[in-house]
Amino acid sequence: MIEFRKVCKKYGTGTMALKNVSFNIQKGEFAFLVGSSGSGKSTLIKLILKEEEPTSGNIIINGKDTTFLKQGKVPYLRRSMGVVFQDFRLLPDKTVYENVAFAMYIVKATPKHIRRQVPMVLSLVGLSGKAKMYPSELSGGEQQRVALARALVNNPSMIIADEPTGNLDPDTAWDIMSLLNEINMRGTTVVVATHAKEIVDQMKKRVIHIDKGVIVKDDKKGGYNCEI
């Protein structure tokens, strides 16, 4: 589903963010991406989202080599992934419902489809009762649920979450993680970049540990700490 083949990324500043990174995340898998700040995690996410181009190597997503994807095709690649960020990135002047529906407008869904799909994902994330509220009226955890609903609404084949619990207290963080787990159970591939050591240790999922641009450990049922 997401495959990196000997990917290197060097920024214009000369920083070598990723060195010869190779891994393969299968369809339906749940994988954590861990590592300290500046380890190359964010670069990796950006490469998956095609926000950045690799300096060398190949990135294969959904069986397609996206390394030489034309700029005009990038939006269609992104429609196959739902993205969640640490800072939620909701539109403050739109209600919960509108924030989610917005993602469907963008991919030109029919009004009928939107009316059916939005309440469905809102109930999946447990926010059915708050559809008419604005982001400012919600707690951080609830806001992240809205973001997750927005990421899910177009039925992507994978969810990419960049530090989804970074701004949340531990209990709420757990809620979000179990929600991601539930989504994964339904067949969606989930990739989570995170610092949340405790959660990673307890969830016993695949952990890709990256340090200074190199994958130091790729553990099928691992924890955060690993002997190198």
Partner 1 sequence: MRFNVISYLFKEGIKNVFKNKKSTISSLMIMCATMLIFGLFFVIGENINAFVKEIADAQGIRVFLINSATDSEIEEVGKELLEIEGVRDVRYISKEEGLESMRETLGDEIIAGYTENNILPASYEVKLTDLELNEEVQKDILQIPNVEDIESSNPVIEQIIRLAKGVKIITAVILILLIVISIAIIANTIKLTVHARRKEISIMKYVGATNSFIRWPFLVEGVIIGVIAGLISVGIVGALYTYFYGKLSGTIFMDIANLKLIEFKDMFELILIVYLGLGAGIGAIGSAISMRKYLDV
Q: Which residues bind partner 1 (CB under 8 A)?
A: 49, 51, 71-72, 75-79, 83, 89, 91, 102-103, 105-108, 110-111, 150, 154
The tokens of 5 are what? 């083949």
Phi, psi of 207 (to 5 degrees): -125, 120
Give the nearer residue to partner 1 in terms of CB position, either 42 or 224.
42
Give the nearer residue to partner 1 in terms of CB position, either 91 or 226.
91
Contact assessment for residue 88 and residue 172, using Cβ atoms and an 8 Å cutoff: no
- Smallest separation, CB 106 to partner 1 (Å): 4
How many other C-beta atoms are found inside a 10 Å radius of the C-beta of residue 80? 15
- Smallest separation, CB 138 to partner 1 (Å): 17
- Smallest separation, CB 150 to partner 1 (Å): 7
Give the nearer residue to partner 1 in terms of CB position, either 99 or 174.
99
User: How far apart (Å, rounded) are the C-alpha atoms in residues 190 and 161?
Assistant: 8
Q: Amino acid letter at 204?
A: K
Give the nearer residue to partner 1 in terms of CB position, either 38 or 111.
111
- Smallest separation, CB 51 to partner 1 (Å): 6
Residues 6+ apart with CB under 8 A from 103: 150, 151, 153, 154
Helices and strands of the chain, counted as H and E runs? 7, 10
- Smallest separation, CB 220 to partner 1 (Å): 29
Give the nearer residue to partner 1 in terms of CB position, either 96 or 199.
96
